[in-house]
Structure 1
């Protein structure tokens, strides 16, 4: 027999369970009142408007069961709880809604069920058994609206505003961080870019791609007084100009030249990473791999084949990640505007016959913000070349007996144009996607002749 009075481990666990409920209810913006003299109800939740701070006098009674012993027949997806007959009779008899919360406080884990709703079925009432589903019965701040619906009368007309939460919004604007300070301009007799290339080819010389032929002038970020530029420019006409004079001019012609010059640098960043420009679709896309195998960047498939459902031995089409990229200026700052999209081919090169149907279908499938954010992050990684300039991975130890294929060389980062991280805004209000977006659809792709009916099944 113990010499001194004791408070056992079960009592401590029960108290932790009440504390866990108190914290979660507080996170919801509701009021928790613990009962000290009770026969089967541990506390009361009063519904409160988190914005106006108004209390409603609409309540929910709560019974807590805390500890590992209450999780019977547990699996990865659920567990069972057997109610005591006297408890169940007591809960069902009253006129207020009652919820049972079963928790493991040491794991910060709790699940709940509305007793009167669950045991409305006579067969369930007879068995006294509750089957908890972990994915849908989790007791946390996300179940706030469902709890409020139990307490508020249907005809009350009372609206509960969302609990104020801060959030960070990611914009699709990538700030231009750096570009060459000087822009060279010289007069030329040549009128078409093809003439410039033909002149260099005839002389057997190579030139950098950062140049523009416009209105009788050749523009470049390279000094035009040196070869091979002197072969296509008129002597003594070269001007050394400030790039910012073009970047921040109100003259449409000067802005056009600056944007085109940035575009020539942008193409170099992308070309080094296997991204090409589609003249017909006016967007950039990842080209096919040499052996038509899947390619990933930032965890996303940027090139992938899809088999025909009617004939698994045949490739129905290839999907390429793509993006519309446009330089824009706001408040004296240049940005690259990124609009993710897709490119579809039937053989890795030729456009798919069902290009528009496939694009429309996948756009409807990808209505979740998180999907667009992942694509934005992927393009940010490509454009900022973070996966090229990062630390070198430790080389794997080569086998002495097995000949391994040589790894593809990593492209050298392009330095003439660089970008800062995507623009982000901190806001005082958060609207959960679950409150306004439909349930995510299965991200499968259409077959040979896609239809849209399956998108809404």
Structure 2
């Protein structure tokens, strides 16, 4: 009775698995019936338009059934290549992939052999090290194969596939008052207005939601109800916001945006300080420099002020980390939005800028990934909106909505944006090297475990 031995059956299964994976990527698989070191070719194709680019990759398949590859564990394995195979692959006119797989479990991993064996040490050993986490041969590898097949051609943006996604933007809808109050004033220096409010009229609410233009003060609230009452020198008048917003006058539209910026600063002044040099707001330090947390959009506490102590002297503060925010008001089709850009601020003692502010900022920005930025943006939106009594009631000038979302039926695998497809895959998790004298994991505004 004729038989097909286990090795041949596993080899057929490995080829079939490659065919299936190539199909899932949207490319075309061409199997060779006779091979001397190349089992088939991948022809690159645009999965949406069907257009083929006349670019190919050669593939050599190595499959294992129940047995494991040499040194195989949960993280990786190695494969020993014969000198004859390496010489043959290195002479190929197109990139050659070695795909190792377990057909029974549907797992496969790949390596670009010319790139690997370009290292003389690797060439001498004939040994290829596979990382199971970063070298999976599945749909996530498609964008890297595109760049590998055409490294000097057009930049390959990952192709959007059919998938429903909800996209969360950083745009926060804002409802603004309909009236602006204005009156004559005998100063055009905002610092003078602030100083006189503090020293001469401390018995009335402090106002910072104003601008000074051409001998007049413009504000969102009636000046007579605040510490501005005795600074103005004439009657208070009212005007509709539409006189500036819809006037087509760019100067007055800029004035309106400046008023909106000052309104936001006023809305958060009980909790946040303004940094004039960096044009940001940041969470104030607690009186005793203890950690400060607020409830995030997920309902869990999120640290917004954290002191960091010296390792050499745990009683001495090294620096303090503050959650911070940059923003921009945007008029889109007569609707106002506040674009939120979360950031950080560093102080020596909760008040004075750290001497290493720029270094700390550069370090933490390198560690930030999309999830961290996303959750910080949601935290600020949640705070401004006032969801679920995040803090005590605040009488705000502006009314803040919730982050604008968009529905789409096309999507791109997020992993495609995390690595350079022309380079070997790397772990995209945040680095674990220390920044200054702290664990970088502590530098991000992580949610506090319950």
Is TM more than 0.5 here? yes
1:285-324: CA deviation from partner (whole Å, max 9, x where unpaired):
2222344344466587543334446666643222323333
Q: Which residue of 1 aligns with 2:21?
A: 24
SS of aligned partner of 1:320:
strand
How far residue 141 of structure 1 moved from its aligned partner, in angstroms, is 4.5
Tell me, yes or no, if the aligned pair for 1:268 and 1:414 is still in contact at 8 Å: no
Tell me, yes or no, if the aligned pair for 1:218 and 1:233 is still in contact at 8 Å: no
How far residue 346 of structure 1 moved from its aligned partner, in angstroms, is 1.4
1:256-309: CA deviation from partner (whole Å, max 9, x where unpaired):
55334323431244335x321023544212222344344466587543334446
The aligned runs of 1:107-118 (5 Å cut-off) are 109-113=107-111
Q: C-alpha separation between the residues in 2 aligned to 1:62 and 1:362?
A: 46
How far residue 327 of structure 1 moved from its aligned partner, in angstroms, is 3.5
Q: State the TM-score, normalizing by the size of structure 1.
A: 0.64
Residue segments in structure 2 that go unaligned for 5+ positions in a row: 439-450
CA 195–124 in structure 1, closer or farther in 2 if over 3 Å, else same: closer
Q: C-alpha separation between the residues in 2 aligned to 1:244 and 1:384?
A: 28
Q: Which residue of 2 aligns with 1:319?
A: 321
Does residue 417 of structure 2 align to residue 432 of structure 1?
A: yes
**Quick check: 164-173 or 15-24, which moved more?**
164-173
Does residue 159 of structure 2 align to residue 162 of structure 1?
A: no
What is the root-mean-square deviation of aligned Cα atoms in Å?
5.5
CA 141–196 in structure 1, closer or farther in 2 if over 3 Å, else same: same
Q: Which residue of 1 aligns with 2:44?
A: 48
Does residue 362 of structure 2 align to residue 381 of structure 1?
A: no
Q: C-alpha separation between the residues in 2 aligned to 1:436 and 1:93?
A: 26
Does residue 256 of structure 2 align to residue 258 of structure 1?
A: yes
Q: Which residue of 1 aligns with 2:393?
A: 412
Q: Which residue of 2 aligns with 1:359?
A: 358
How far residue 176 of structure 1 moved from its aligned partner, in angstroms, is 4.4
How far residue 179 of structure 1 moved from its aligned partner, in angstroms, is 1.2
Q: How many residues align?
A: 405
Tell me, yes or no, if the aligned pair for 2:175 and 2:336 is still in contact at 8 Å: no
Q: C-alpha separation between the residues in 1 aligned to 2:266 and 2:332?
A: 25
Q: C-alpha separation between the residues in 2 aligned to 1:443 and 1:114?
A: 29
SS of aligned partner of 1:434:
coil
CA 217–132 in structure 1, closer or farther in 2 if over 3 Å, else same: closer
**Quick check: 234-243 or 24-33, which moved more?**
234-243
**Quick check: 7-16 or 258-267, which moved more?**
7-16
Tell me, yes or no, if the aligned pair for 2:177 and 2:241 is still in contact at 8 Å: yes
CA 257–61 in structure 1, closer or farther in 2 if over 3 Å, else same: closer
Q: C-alpha separation between the residues in 2 aligned to 1:232 and 1:137?
A: 71
Q: State the TM-score, normalizing by the size of structure 2.
A: 0.64
1:18-60: CA deviation from partner (whole Å, max 9, x where unpaired):
454224324555431245x66897941234364962324x552
Q: C-alpha separation between the residues in 2 aligned to 1:82 and 1:423?
A: 51
SS of aligned partner of 1:54:
strand
Q: Which residue of 2 aligns with 1:400?
A: none
Higher Rg of the two aligned structures: 1
CA 40–365 in structure 1, closer or farther in 2 if over 3 Å, else same: farther
Tell me, yes or no, if the aligned pair for 1:188 and 1:233 is still in contact at 8 Å: yes
1:71-115: CA deviation from partner (whole Å, max 9, x where unpaired):
6765332246789xxxx6995696665624213665x53223467
Q: C-alpha separation between the residues in 2 aligned to 1:336 and 1:280?
A: 21
The aligned runs of 1:118-157 (5 Å cut-off) are 132-141=130-139, 143=141
CA 384–243 in structure 1, closer or farther in 2 if over 3 Å, else same: farther
